[in-house]
Amino acid sequence: MPDPIAPKDQLDLLAQEIQSDPLETAADLDAYRIRYLSRKQGRITELLKQIPAVDPSDRKAFGAAVNGLKSLAEERIAEAEARIGPVDDAASGAPDLTLPGRRPVRGSLHPITQARREIERVFAGFGFTIAEGPEIEDDWHNFTALNFPPDHPARDMQDTFFVEPPSGPGTGIFLRTHTSPVQIRVMEGTPPPIRVIIPGRVYRNEAISYKSFCLFHQMEGLVVAEGVSMAELKQVLHAFAVEMFGTDVRMRFRPSFFPFTEPSAEVDIWWKDERLPDGGRWLEILGCGMVDPAVLEAVGIDSERYTGYAFGMGIERIAMLRHGITDIRVLYENDARFLEQFA
């Protein structure tokens, strides 16, 4: 039998190193563990493997000495771990394979899109079909055919985004200021009976605030047939409000004015808010009325035979009412923290 592979003084030397090697940082700790205890090449591991080969007379003493070194190293590791904390793999640059995977982020429909689809669903149930028209309009469809007088303030440069500024009365190409021009396009293209809703973007050169933005969405409605009445208009809009906001919805019709409807009204919905002195306030959601006979005549529909009603609602207003949103601008900021609440 050869001499013990690690003579006594060599074990003493090793004990000194185990005792005095620096253990200040996580990197020290990592290196220490590998140096002495790694399964493949740890210095103590190597000695443990040799125990069976040692001469039986020395084996017991040798084994005890090596196991003593092992306990010593383990004690120092435990002490250093308690002091430094567990090794931070992220800091050491190694990926932590035990972390759960990252889920892909799923998008969702914008609250305006959700409100538009919901409104469309409700009116589809009332027998309405969807029509659409261009966002860049001419004066005839946006104003003249809708019975706006030539000097109406809505035609003002201040309110309208022009593509081609007007060169005289009844001219100019611009971003539509409402979805009502599509009423004209539908009536020009289809004989009555007509029963359509018209979703779309509209643009107004207005001061931006919590309740108005330079671009917003409207849902227009148009019904033209024989014997259509204001009572039917009120009934349809009330049924819509109940579907949209529930049976306890409070709504009111207020007399109003639009050049293209007569009589005209605006509809308000009661916005509950306990912080307000009255426990809420009225919020306008739409304008409506009986289609003015002058409009029917402008598109060649016999106003003696046919009557019609129209309405135009703000889709943002509906979304705000449904979700308790108090500032329209958040709908246009694309802040993921806001949008992900509607997933």
Question: In the complex, which residues of this chain contact ligand PHE (CB under 6 A)?
Answer: 178, 180, 220, 258, 261, 287-289, 310-312
By beta-carbon proximity to ligand PHE, the closer residue of 141 and 178 is 178
Q: How far is the CB of 186 from ligand PHE (least distance, A)?
A: 13
SS3 146: helix
By beta-carbon proximity to ligand PHE, the closer residue of 28 and 159 is 159
By beta-carbon proximity to ligand PHE, the closer residue of 29 and 224 is 224
Q: How far is the CB of 160 from ligand PHE (least distance, A)?
A: 13
Q: How far are the Cα atoms of 118, 240, 288 from residue 195, in angstroms, in the given order?
A: 18, 15, 15
By beta-carbon proximity to ligand PHE, the closer residue of 270 and 311 is 311
DSSP string, 91-116: HHT---TTSPPPPPPP----HHHHHH
Q: How far is the CB of 291 from ligand PHE (least distance, A)?
A: 8
Q: How far is the CB of 286 from ligand PHE (least distance, A)?
A: 7
SS3 150: coil
By beta-carbon proximity to ligand PHE, the closer residue of 70 and 178 is 178
Q: How far is the CB of 109 from ligand PHE (least distance, A)?
A: 25
Q: Which residue is nearest to ligand PHE (CB)?
A: 312
Q: How far is the CB of 252 from ligand PHE (least distance, A)?
A: 16
Spatial distance between the Cα atoms of 204 and 161, rounded to a whole number of angstroms: 7
SS3 7: coil
Residue in 110, 257, 225, 133 with CA at minimum distance from that of residue 184? 133
CB of 221 within 8 A of CB of 261? no
Region for residue 256 given its phi and psi (left: phi exceeds 0; alpha: psi -120 to 50; beta: otherwise) = beta
Burial bucket for residue 120 (CB in 10 Å: 0-12, 13-18, 19+): middle
By beta-carbon proximity to ligand PHE, the closer residue of 192 and 289 is 289
User: Residue 161: how many CB atoms within 10 A of its CB?
Assistant: 15
Largest CA distance in the chain: 125
Distance of CA 327 to the CA centre of its chain: 15
Q: How far are the Cα atoms of 221, 242, 281 from residue 252, in angstroms, in the given order?
A: 18, 13, 12
> Which amino acid is residue 205, in one-letter code?
N
Q: How far is the CB of 97 from ligand PHE (least distance, A)?
A: 59
By beta-carbon proximity to ligand PHE, the closer residue of 76 and 176 is 176
By beta-carbon proximity to ligand PHE, the closer residue of 54 and 233 is 233
By beta-carbon proximity to ligand PHE, the closer residue of 80 and 180 is 180
Q: How far is the CB of 236 from ligand PHE (least distance, A)?
A: 13
DSSP string, 153-176: GGGSTTT--EEE--SSTT--EEE-
Q: How far are the Cα atoms of 16, 17, 20, 58 from residue 47, in angstroms, in the given order?
A: 16, 15, 19, 14
Q: How far is the CB of 319 from ligand PHE (least distance, A)?
A: 17
